[in-house]
Copies of this chain bind each other. A is one copy, B any other.
Amino acid sequence: MPAGFTAAALAERFALELIGDGGLVVSGVATLAHATAGQLSFLSNPRYRGQLADSQAGVVVMRAADAEDYAGTALLAADPYVAFARIAALFDPPPPLEPGIHASAVVHASASVDPGAQVDAFCSIGARSRIAAGAVIGPGCVIGDDCVVGEGSRLVARVTLVRRVRLGKRVLIHPGAVLGADGFGLAMDAGHWIKVPQQGGVLVGDDCEIGANTTIDRGAIEDTVLGDDVRLDNQIQIGHNVRIGAHTAMAGCAAVAGSATIGSYCLVGGAAGILGHLEVCDRVMITAMSLVTSSIREPGEYSSGTPLMPNREWRRNAARFRQLDTLARRVNAQDKPARDKED
């Protein structure tokens, strides 16, 4: 970790306007509430604005509008969160690459590992798979046959690429994720299930991030596809043949059923679900725990569900939901004589 940066150096490096003491040195980042004089913090979410006055932070990144009454040292940014993210990265460099294959790793004779790649302990790499330069395969990963890990991609630990998974460049995959498992393809035949072969693969674009214990099945015939810069949180389930457009992000526990097509720049909330064989256009936002049951053709924000209530109230209202159609018919019937009278 570096010794520190002056406020002036940070201002210059990230093209931010400086107010206050440019010679102030910061050696780390912290929240407004807990920062010390040697740390940098940020104000982006208005709900934390009240913490600014009492903050001990040496330097605070904020919008110009928030700095008007501020007596301390500040770096002004149109988007303080973006500026903070860039500055914070200076204090959190990735672990240095240690190229080479750990003695315990098992690499198939037909696989190719670039001399500039790092393969850690207890990894297994299958037939015809290729690991590019700058890639890191952390401890305990299993890479099956016919996979590709692109330049600078990092599988943190215990990631599985089952078969025919091709990752672009700078893809980051967290522990426990499983890409390329069989899609869930079944056909009922005379009272028994028969398995439908899953002959496709998974294609992941550049700069994607895939969370811990997330699963992405390989396609039945063609590939399951993630565009560039797709960001998936933990415990997400992506069924076979799904296609996700570039820059789409999904929060934890979201699930997309087979053969759904999702556009670019979509935001899918936590534990939201998208049924199979649907299309969701670009720039759609689905709120948490909502269920998408038909295609969405207009950008915008969509929701389902009911509000949270004390259980006693909820029971009364939920019981009425059972009668909602009857209730609506009765209101209609009441309206009718009223309208008849008006005639």
Q: A residues near B, CB below 8 A?
A: 28-31, 34, 45, 47, 79, 81-82, 84-86, 88-89, 91-92, 95, 102, 104, 106, 120-122, 124, 138-140, 142, 144-145, 156-158, 160, 162, 172, 174-176, 178, 181-182, 184-189, 191-199, 207, 209, 211-213, 215, 217, 221-222, 229, 231, 233-235, 237, 239, 247, 249, 251-253, 255, 257, 270-271, 273, 275, 277, 285, 287-294, 300-325, 327-328, 330-331, 334-335, 337-338
With both beta carbons as reference points, the residue of chain B lying nearest to A294 in the complex is identified as B308
Q: List 23 A-B contacts (CB under 8 A).
A: A81-B187, A82-B188, A88-B196, A91-B197, A104-B104, A106-B121, A124-B140, A162-B175, A172-B182, A175-B178, A175-B181, A178-B234, A211-B215, A213-B215, A217-B234, A233-B237, A292-B308, A294-B308, A301-B310, A302-B314, A303-B308, A317-B324, A319-B325
- Assess A124 versus B139: contact at CB under 8 Å? Given A305-B305, A323-B328, A327-B331: yes
Min distance, Cβ A271 to any Cβ of chain B, angstroms: 5
A47 to B213, CA, bound (A): 33
Q: Tell me if A237 and B234 are in contact (CB < 8 A).
A: yes
- Assess A85 versus B157: contact at CB under 8 Å? Given A207-B192, A318-B306, A319-B307: no
User: Which of B162, B251, B255, B325 is close to A317, meaning CB atoms less than 8 Å apart?
Assistant: B325
With both beta carbons as reference points, the residue of chain B lying nearest to A88 in the complex is identified as B197
Other 13 A-B pairs with CB < 8 A, given A291-B305, A334-B335: A29-B199, A45-B277, A106-B139, A120-B124, A122-B122, A139-B142, A142-B157, A160-B212, A176-B178, A255-B271, A303-B315, A306-B306, A331-B334
With both beta carbons as reference points, the residue of chain B lying nearest to A290 in the complex is identified as B308
A247 to B120, CA, bound (A): 38
User: Which of B138, B140, B321 is close to A306, meaning CB atoms less than 8 Å apart?
Assistant: B321
With both beta carbons as reference points, the residue of chain B lying nearest to A47 in the complex is identified as B277
User: Which of B81, B221, B251, B334 is close to A257, meaning CB atoms less than 8 Å apart?
Assistant: B251
A303 to B314, CA, bound (A): 6
User: Which of B270, B293, B317 is close to A308, meaning CB atoms less than 8 Å apart?
Assistant: B293
User: Which of B124, B252, B338 is close to A237, meaning CB atoms less than 8 Å apart?
Assistant: B252
Question: Inside 8 A of A289's CB, which chain B residues have their CB?
Answer: 273, 289, 291
